[in-house]
Amino acid sequence: MLKLDAVTVQKGDFRLQADLQIATGAQVAVIGPSGAGKSTLLEAIAGFLLARDGRILWRGEDITALPPGQRPVAMLFQDGNLFPHLTLRQNVGLGIDANRRLSAAQTDVVSAALARVGLGGMEERKPADLSGGQQSRAALARVLVQGRDLLLLDEPFAALGPALKAEMLDLVAEIVAEKGATLLMVSHDPQDARRIAAEVVLVAEGRALPPLPTAEMLDNPPPALRAYLGAPQILDPDR
């Protein structure tokens, strides 16, 4: 279980408070108006922002003061998820060990991960030689080899077209299911939430609220969410 115990994070003048729990293996969408602090919440969990108050616990262990790379977290950002000067093999290999050379067995793991996301045989390509969708797949291959318990997505697929984005989300869902990982995913699109997330964390007015079932939340949104979502008809996928 991921537990945010009365956590306060400060980013300049902006302050976000979070007091919530997320079950191990849950798939959670983080939604809310822009500027409400969705990314801030993820950055705090990943360790890029330090909690000013409160504790963050993963399976009962306090990770509040751990540096980002030592938390049980793999995170994908909006951009810059691959080093542009390294090949895919090197980029994905960093997920196994960023500080040492890889063994032959580890290199095989990298190739297998690339094949798993549909990039088999592209080990020596560099990110610039790939399409946006392929770059996302390569980043997901690294997430695969990292084998972390928590996967945080800060809209890494925002620049992709709708069909490609849906494809990536399905791939994420598969990976998360295979690994039994816990997923937190920032989203602007309620459809994304419905697609792969069973629960929704609403971030609004400087607060991250405890997760609620997605369908319930979107069908019967609280006022802050309703203001963000606008007209109710877009919420119903059947119409």
Partner 1 sequence: MAERAQPIGRARPASLHPVAPWPGTCAALGVALLVLGTLAAVAMRAEGGGSGFGPAEVSALRFTLIQASLSAVFSVGLAIPVARALARRRFAGRRVLITILGAPFILPVIVAILGLLAVFGRSGWISDALGVFGIAPLRIYGLHGVVMAHVFFNLPLATRLILQGWQEIPAERFRLAAQLNAGPRAMWRLLEAPMLRRILPGVMAVIFAICLSSFAVALTLGGGPKATTLELAIYQAFHFDFDLGRAAVLSTVQLGLTVVAAVLALRVPVGEGFGAGLDRAVVRWDATGRSATALDVVWIGFATLFLMLPLLAVLVAGAPGLLSLPAPVWSAAWVSVQVAALSTVLLLLVALPLSASIALGRRQLGEIAGILGLAASPLVIGTGLFVLIYPVANPAHVALPVTALVNMVMALPFALRILVPRMQQVMQQNARLALALDMRGPAFWRRVIWPRCRAQIGFAAGLTAALSLGDLGVVALFADPETATLPLQVYRLMGAYRMETAQAAALLLFILSMGAFWLLDRGGKFHAEA
**Residue ranges in contact with partner 1 by CB under 8 A:** 46-48, 50-55, 62, 64-70, 73-75, 77, 80-86, 90, 94-95, 98-100, 146
> In the complex, what is the shortest distance from the CB of residue 156 to partner 1, in angstroms, rounded to a whole number?
12
Q: How many helices (H) and strands (E) would you count in the chain?
A: 8, 11
> In the complex, what is the shortest distance from the CB of residue 82 to partner 1, in angstroms, rounded to a whole number?
8
For partner 1, give the closer residue by CB, 6 or 23. Answer: 6
For partner 1, give the closer residue by CB, 51 or 202. Answer: 51
User: Residue 7: beta bridge partners?
Assistant: 18
DSSP state of 219: H
> In the complex, what is the shortest distance from the CB of residue 123 to partner 1, in angstroms, rounded to a whole number?
17
Q: How far, in Å, are 113, 121, 176, 186, 196 from residue 183 at the CA level?
A: 19, 29, 7, 10, 10
Give the Cβ contact number of residue 24 at 10 Å.
13
Evaluate whether 18 touches 208 at the Cβ level (below 8 Å).
yes
> In the complex, what is the shortest distance from the CB of residue 202 to partner 1, in angstroms, rounded to a whole number?
25
Give the span between the Cα atoms of 7 and 62, in whole angstroms: 12
For partner 1, give the closer residue by CB, 85 or 226. Answer: 85
For partner 1, give the closer residue by CB, 27 or 146. Answer: 146
